[in-house]
Amino acid sequence: MKNILTLLFTLVVMSSYAQIKMQGVVRDSIGEPLELANIIAINKESNALESYAITDANGKYVISLGKNGNYNIQVSYIGLKSVDAIVESKEVDIIKNFDLRSDNMLDAVELTYEMPVTVKGDTIIYNADSFKSGTERKLEDVLKKLPGVEITADGKIEVEGKEVTKLMVNGKDFFDGDSKLATQNIPSNAVDKIQVLRNYAEVGQLSGVQNNQDNVAINIKLKEGKENFWFGNITAGGGVAPSPNDNLYLVQPKLFYYSPKYSINVIGDLNNTGEVALTGRDIRNFGGGFRSPSSSSGTSIDLGDNGLRGLTNVDDSQSVESKLAAVNFSYAPNKALDLSGFLIYNANRLKTREESFVRYTNPELGIPDEKTEQIGREATNQGLAKLSASYNPNASHQLNYDVLGRISSDSEIQNEFSSVVGNTNQIDEAKPFSINQNVNYYYTLNENNIFAFEAQHLLKDEDPFYNVTGLSDEDTFDSTAGSLGLDLDQEIYNLNQERRVKSNQLDAKLDYYNILNSKSNINLTLGTILSHQEFNSNIFQFLDDGSYFDPTSSLVNADGELLRNENDVEYNFSDVYLGFHYRLKTGKFTITPGFTVHAYGNKNTQFGETYKDNFFRVLPDFETQIQFKKSESLTFRYNMQNSFTDVTSLAEGLVLNNYNSLQYGESQLQNSLSHNLNLRYFSFNLFNYTNVFAFLNYNKNIDQIRSYTNFDNVIRTNTYFNSNFADESVTASGRIQRTYGKFKASMRVGYNYSKSNQFIQDVRSINETFSQTYTPGLSTNFREAPNVSLSYRYSVSDTKQGADNDTQFITSAPSIDFDAYMWKSLTLRTDYSYTSQSSNVSDTQSYQTWNASLAYRKDQDAKWEYELKATNLLNIDSEVSNGSSNISVYSSETFILPRFITFRLTYTL
């Protein structure tokens, strides 16, 4: 790694010595400086783009030229006549100013090259070809090279530190704006322009009365010739896995059709190489573009997630088989009506293995250390379907309707050996479904009065089933089995639990906006949340002869009441609220104070008893933004939030999370209250392509719902209560990124401090964690030479558990990506990373990853491409990780996919 850094530093130094600087000022005809004027330098000998720049607020520009060369300098500005000048460089820097004049005919010099980056209002437009070197295959490869744009580890797109919430192709939503599907599947050779839409407003009628500074969308403009016929590619491949009975296969069609009236996108994936287009977690997070109408009201109600929440990441699996079929369409029968939707089927089959060791940090609690080995199989089958309609007959009316259906069938089989409990075999199954409907209507009465109605209805049915067998040979579980009322006279315990959670929720609001003048408006909101949940569960036992046994628990709660092995709970929640907000623009400031008045009511009925709680609460919020200039701002926000739990935390009967974790709820749980303060700064300087963002967030929870935990050996029982002790957290993060010609350097830092209260065996302890992460990076973007991307992540996590236990973990992870386009036909790509983890409680551990591919196509326009790809070249068996919880320190070893070498053939339409 040291040699690579030295080589890259040498390249930077050699590049800087081989160039000179040309700078000056661009003005209009009366001598006023022009901001955002475009300057490009074209090498007259090669006719290639040498350098480009955009002027700053003072009209200043700086470009880099090679020594002793001849260049055509072209200067342009919207609405003014362009200037074309010939410049001969020597070996000294050049100072040259330009004056642009008005020309009604605008017979501007025809630009030989398009500007790589241009700005029009809140839109930044990147010319994709200006950032391509020939090794790109998908949209993600291009986005990584754009100044101000970053692809996160989980495939999300960030612009100026803000997550892109919508991605469109030719103005039409791509799978409801999902960025990961787009970055991984849209072919790079189809991309002409990448438009970053800052301050993006979904509804044009509300753009002038709402604060949209956090909304960022991307629109991909296709190249000419990519419309009105199919484009895309089809990839097929195979190989031999280390096991002689396991051949590798891969088939991935990615087909697209766009026309002014309709579009169709088809993505398919069938492989066992571990290259999963969408994981089970991705599907669960695929919200379909839905946003709760009450998201800004200050109320948060958790309906819970009772599916299989512990599904493994495919990167942590020994074997992966995946299937994906996805179709997205849009159709505009006329100018007023737009129809769109998608269908997605996703299936994954995983084999997993993990070994872990847990050491509890409080010896006085009497909890033994535990070593476990888990071998599992997971199967997920998931389907999503969405239909959307938007009717916009004129500028005053807009009606939107969406319906999203989701269904899945998931199962997990796990064999676990515990050094404390012994062998267990566990089965988790769930077949949940949900239907989510959304209707929005926006009406502009006149230039001063706007109405907006938004409503969302969710219907959800979840039915997780859990079964565990084993345990009877170990005295460790006998006391728990006796407490549950199980029949102890069995060779093995066969413990089961059925659960059923039905949720029905309506979330609606009506907004009225009164525009007082060009600088201010008021917003009145009337809204409601109505939620109904039913929860049933039952713990039972199958005896050795196969008969059904219904046990009776002997566990009691804190009040000495007997805990049941079943639940039958009905929970109703209501919130009716009235909100007021005032928005004022004055100079550089936009100030939005406001508050909402809530009338809450909740009621739960179980075992013939009913608990009610009705109360009022005022929740204030405040936001102010300082817009220093178009691309630099500072925003401060404060809001108070009321949070309510779901029905499972209210259920007084016992619930099995798994065999070694039981819980029971509290019917009289109240809401928790939190104070949230956020400070965010961003700046994108197109003059020197410096992108800076930073944010600071503080959160304090009052009356937070926490748990009492009691251990019987390693088997824990949790119950819930409203804690009088506040938990606090502070998070700070920032990144600076700057482009120097063909080099892009960045530095990202993150800090997090949290203080939480833990209650174990009726003993309260305060746990504090402080973590810090530093990630410098350096990458190149040469058109002819190979490109290198270097990154180094260094993180330190310090945890203080109680009064006497301090744990520190240090992670060091350098990485390098290399790609080269050679002889205009070969593409070589490789990436390597090394991760080392050390701590004050265990030995240092490390692992490496190395992947590579070599592809051949005759030229850029060739239809066929041949690729040899290798993953995990070092054939590493496993990855290691260390960490700590509130009461323990743990280390784990996760076994991963072996070395795979495949040959692939891609046909481009």
**Which DSSP string corresponds to 603-626?**
EEEETTEEEEEEEEEEEEEEEEEE
20, 34, 53: which is closest to 687 by C-alpha?
53
| pLDDT value of residue 606 | 93
First to last CA, the chain: 40
Break the chain down into helix, strand, coil percent, rounded to 5. 5, 65, 30
pLDDT tens, residue by residue, 298-356: 899 888 877 776 566 777 888 899 999 999 999 999 989 999 999 999 998 999 999 98
More confident residue, 7 or 900: 900
Residues in the chain: 909
| pLDDT value of residue 556 | 84
The C-alpha atoms of residue 311 and residue 464 are separated, in whole angstroms, by 13
Is residue 221 over pLDDT 60? yes
The C-alpha atoms of residue 728 and residue 733 are separated, in whole angstroms, by 17
pLDDT tens, residue by residue, 376-428: 999 989 999 999 999 999 988 999 999 999 999 999 999 989 888 888 899 99
Is residue 602 over pLDDT 60? yes
- β-pairing, 787-801 vs 548-549, is unpaired
| pLDDT value of residue 623 | 94
Element (H, E) at 281: helix 280-285
Residues with Cβ < 8 Å from 614, sequence gap 6 or more?
599, 600, 601, 602
pLDDT tens, residue by residue, 757-803: 888 877 777 888 899 999 999 998 887 789 999 999 999 998 887 66
- Among 106-110, 152-156, 361-365, 661-665, the range scoring the smallest mean pLDDT is 106-110
65, 27, 25: which is closest to 46 by C-alpha?
65
- Outline where 372-474 has alpha helix (H): none
Is residue 171 over pLDDT 90? no
User: How sure is the predictor about 14, in pLDDT bands with cuts at 50, 70 and 90?
Assistant: very low
| pLDDT value of residue 108 | 44
Q: Chain-centre distance of CA 502, in angstroms?
A: 28
User: How sure is the predictor about 709, in pLDDT bands with cuts at 50, 70 and 90?
Assistant: confident
| pLDDT value of residue 105 | 53
Residues with Cβ < 8 Å from 641, sequence gap 6 or more?
298, 299, 300, 619, 673, 674, 676
The C-alpha atoms of residue 697 and residue 681 are separated, in whole angstroms, by 12
User: How sure is the predictor about 543, in pLDDT bands with cuts at 50, 70 and 90?
Assistant: very high
Taking residues 254-278, report their average pLDDT. 88
User: How sure is the predictor about 567, in pLDDT bands with cuts at 50, 70 and 90?
Assistant: very high
| pLDDT value of residue 8 | 47
> Positive or negative, the Cα torsion across 708, 538, 280, 292?
negative
Count CA within 13 A, CB hemisphere, residue 425. 5
Q: Chain-centre distance of CA 230, in angstroms?
A: 30
461, 439, 442: which is closest to 452 by C-alpha?
442
| 3-state DSSP assignment of residue 222 | strand
The C-alpha atoms of residue 58 and residue 76 are separated, in whole angstroms, by 16
User: How sure is the predictor about 557, in pLDDT bands with cuts at 50, 70 and 90?
Assistant: confident
| pLDDT value of residue 724 | 84
| pLDDT value of residue 475 | 65
> Positive or negative, the Cα torsion across 173, 175, 176, 181?
negative
| pLDDT value of residue 296 | 85
| pLDDT value of residue 679 | 95
Is residue 6 over pLDDT 60? no
The C-alpha atoms of residue 669 and residue 707 are separated, in whole angstroms, by 11
How would you list the strands of the sheet with 162-163, edge to edge?
149-151, 157-159, 162-163
User: How sure is the predictor about 236, in pLDDT bands with cuts at 50, 70 and 90?
Assistant: very high
User: How sure is the predictor about 575, in pLDDT bands with cuts at 50, 70 and 90?
Assistant: very high
Percent of residues, the chain, with pLDDT higher than 70: 93
| pLDDT value of residue 473 | 55
Element (H, E) at 666: none
| pLDDT value of residue 323 | 93
| pLDDT value of residue 472 | 65
Tell me if 663 sits within 8 A of 657, measured CB to CB. yes
